[in-house]
Amino acid sequence: MKLAPCLAGCVLTLLGTLWMPRAHAAETAQPQGWRDGAALAELVDTNPDPRIVEVTLDAREAEVTIGPGQRVRAWTYNGTVPGPLIRARVGDRLIVHFTNHLDTNTTVHWHGVRVPNAMDGVPEHTQPAVANGRGFTYDFELPDAGLFWYHPHVLSAAQVGFGLYGALLVEDPNDQVQVTDEAVLVLSDMSVDDGVLESPTSGGDLAATFGREGTRVLVNGRTDATFTVRDGAPQRWRVVNAAKSRYFLLDLEGEPFLLLGGDGGLQERAERRDSLVIAPGERLDVIVAPRRPVDGAPVVLRSGLFDRGFGSTEFRRVEELLTLRFAPTAAYAAPLPSPPGRRIEPLDLTGATQVRLDLTFSNADGLNRYGVNGVAFAEDLMLTAHVGETQVWTVTNQTKWSHPFHLHGFFFQVLDAAGAPVRPLAWKDTVDVPFGQTVRLAVRFDNRPGMWMYHCHILDHADLGLMGMLAVRPRD
């Protein structure tokens, strides 16, 4: 009884394979529904103008399923974790009608997007916090292609940890990458105990000093994320780390990653990597083309142990993120594509203003505090810049834990030990500053004056003081 449909299915699959014209574009195609085991909800554009994406977003509590039999009442955008994917093209205008149905204030920050200051979602500085039952319309252009993401900027460690984050994919129809099978992977974690979210303050100051990692690791909101893929066929993954503290050390059982770019879109040229680290807030753009092992077993994307300071490898385990099962289709034989990359100019650093930022830790009166140049929340330490100015920031991590350093509103180039931009050139908005090390970055302030934030994207660290403000002033 059960044999017949299976046989019929296999014969059909076989026929399909035989009939597929060779060297036709469809030959690279992944099987129908290949991403269904880790699907992302997507927002519907309600605006008929092809250059405007207009969507409705709300924040609310909802019960979500994160795995087989694992339901949890989370904080969500539009009822899902992650929130729905927003898809647009570079140059589009994005209009988001946002409503807050949470019992507490919130905002939406558009991580990495070069928005006008008033659209940056930072309460007290760029907009009033959105109270329960109130709304705010975010309306801005998308000047850069790449994967961006959105999350609250009110009590971020708690709100992001509870499930409030989503991806914004800005596509460039002319990017020449030529891999049509694409997936967005939102990596995150959640602290769940018996179907209930753990308190964001569990473990007290000590846990915050390390940065709380969730007990369940999620890919697109699932503990059991699965793709069904064709042996050897290329897939393009856009990956964002939306976890509030966890770094991911990605490994695909030795299958190579072709790294195309990251935070600010494509980098100068692609690079082959055997593993990849993605810190909280960062993005990756990669091509993978895993081969089916001889025994036909799935290939698993794992996160290995990454040392971001004491406690990060000692009490942790390797996590399984995404299972790639192989469809019974013939193997795809072509080599990995080699996309051409993108022209990026190194920033001209002659006459650049030098700025020193020491990331510090203190324990006065038994309170653990992170700070910038010894000052928690960098109060009275406002950085300033002028429109058109280029600055070099020397960020030294004097603490025992690594900090993914994030600047709002502007991309930067990371500099090497000799002070030259690191090759291949790339635009970034978040960079890991490993414990005990120094990272230098160069940033040029384009014409978007206002109050911009910088902070550690381990959100517990930001809450313990690792944040500050930068005033970008108009040219006089």
Residues that bind ligand C2O (CB under 6 A): 109, 111, 151, 153, 281, 406, 408, 453, 455, 457
Nearer Cβ to ligand C2O (269/283): 283
| Both tokens assigned to 331 | 């193997």
> Which residue in the set 66, 122, 284, 456 belongs to the binding site for Cu ion (CB under 5 A)?
456
Among Cu ion, ligand C2O, none, what does residue 408 contact (CB within 5–8 Å per kind)?
Answer: ligand C2O
When asked if residue 270 is in the footprint of Cu ion (CB under 5 A), the reply is: no
Amino acid, single-letter form, for residue 193: D
Give the residues across from 367 on adjacent strands: 364
Nearer Cβ to ligand C2O (162/326): 162
Measured in whole angstroms, the distance separating CA 79 from the mean position of its chain's CA atoms is: 20
Nearer Cβ to ligand C2O (111/342): 111
Residues 306-345 that bind Cu ion (CB under 5 A): none
Nearer Cβ to Cu ion (221/465): 465
Among ligand C2O, Cu ion, none, what does residue 252 contact (CB within 5–8 Å per kind)?
Answer: none
Give the residues across from 453 on adjacent strands: 469
Local structure of residue 81 (DSSP, 8 states): S
Q: Which stretch binds Cu ion (CB under 5 A): 71-79, 230-238, 311-319, 456-464?
A: 456-464
Nearer Cβ to Cu ion (228/399): 399
Asked if residues 100 and 152 have their Cβ atoms less than 8 Å apart, the reply is no
Give the residues across from 189 on adjacent strands: 217
CB of 43 to ligand C2O, least distance (A): 19
Asked if residues 368 and 205 have their Cβ atoms less than 8 Å apart, the reply is yes
Asked if residues 422 and 413 have their Cβ atoms less than 8 Å apart, the reply is yes
> Which residue in the set 288, 321, 433, 458 belongs to the binding site for Cu ion (CB under 5 A)?
458
CB of 31 to Cu ion, least distance (A): 41
Nearest 5 degrees, angle CA 462-CA 221-CA 453? 25
- DSSP per-residue string spanning 361-429: EEEETTEEEEEETTBGGGTT--EEEETT-EEEEEEEE-SSB-EEEEESS--EEEE-TTSSBPSSP--BS
Q: How many CB atoms lie within 10 A of CB 343?
A: 8
CB of 463 to ligand C2O, least distance (A): 12
Among ligand C2O, Cu ion, none, what does residue 246 contact (CB within 5–8 Å per kind)?
Answer: none
Which residue has the CB atom at the shortest distance from ligand C2O?
Answer: 111
Nearer Cβ to ligand C2O (181/429): 429
Nearer Cβ to ligand C2O (439/469): 469
Among Cu ion, ligand C2O, none, what does residue 111 contact (CB within 5–8 Å per kind)?
Answer: ligand C2O
CB of 111 to ligand C2O, least distance (A): 4
Amino acid, single-letter form, for residue 404: P
Tell me which residue of 14, 7, 9, 25 sits closest to 329, measured CA to CA: 14
CB of 466 to Cu ion, least distance (A): 5
CA dihedral sign, ordered 431, 436, 437, 443 = positive
CB of 45 to ligand C2O, least distance (A): 24
CA dihedral sign, ordered 134, 450, 84, 87 = positive
Among Cu ion, ligand C2O, none, what does residue 448 contact (CB within 5–8 Å per kind)?
Answer: none
Tell me which residue of 356, 362, 383 sits closest to 465, measured CA to CA: 362
Nearer Cβ to ligand C2O (153/428): 153
**Residue appearing with tokens 């020397």:** 394
CB of 458 to Cu ion, least distance (A): 4
**Residue appearing with tokens 């269904």:** 36
When asked if residue 426 is in the footprint of Cu ion (CB under 5 A), the reply is: no
Nearer Cβ to Cu ion (165/227): 165
3-state secondary structure of 191: coil
**What is the rounded CA–CA span in Å between residue 247 and residue 401?**
12
Residues 396-425 that bind Cu ion (CB under 5 A): 403
CB of 455 to ligand C2O, least distance (A): 6
CB of 408 to ligand C2O, least distance (A): 6
When asked if residue 461 is in the footprint of Cu ion (CB under 5 A), the reply is: yes
**What is the rounded CA–CA span in Å between residue 252 and residue 470?**
39
Nearer Cβ to ligand C2O (260/459): 459
Nearer Cβ to Cu ion (209/413): 209
- In 247-352, at which residue ranges do the beta strands (DSSP E only) sit? 248-251, 257-262, 265-273, 275-278, 283-288, 299-303, 319-326
Element (DSSP H or E) covering residue 167: strand 166-171
Give the residues across from 65 on adjacent strands: 71
Among Cu ion, ligand C2O, none, what does residue 458 contact (CB within 5–8 Å per kind)?
Answer: Cu ion
Tell me which residue of 134, 105, 101, 141 sits closest to 122, measured CA to CA: 105
Cis peptide before 449 (omega within 30 of 0): no
Residue ranges binding Cu ion (CB under 5 A): 403, 456, 458, 461
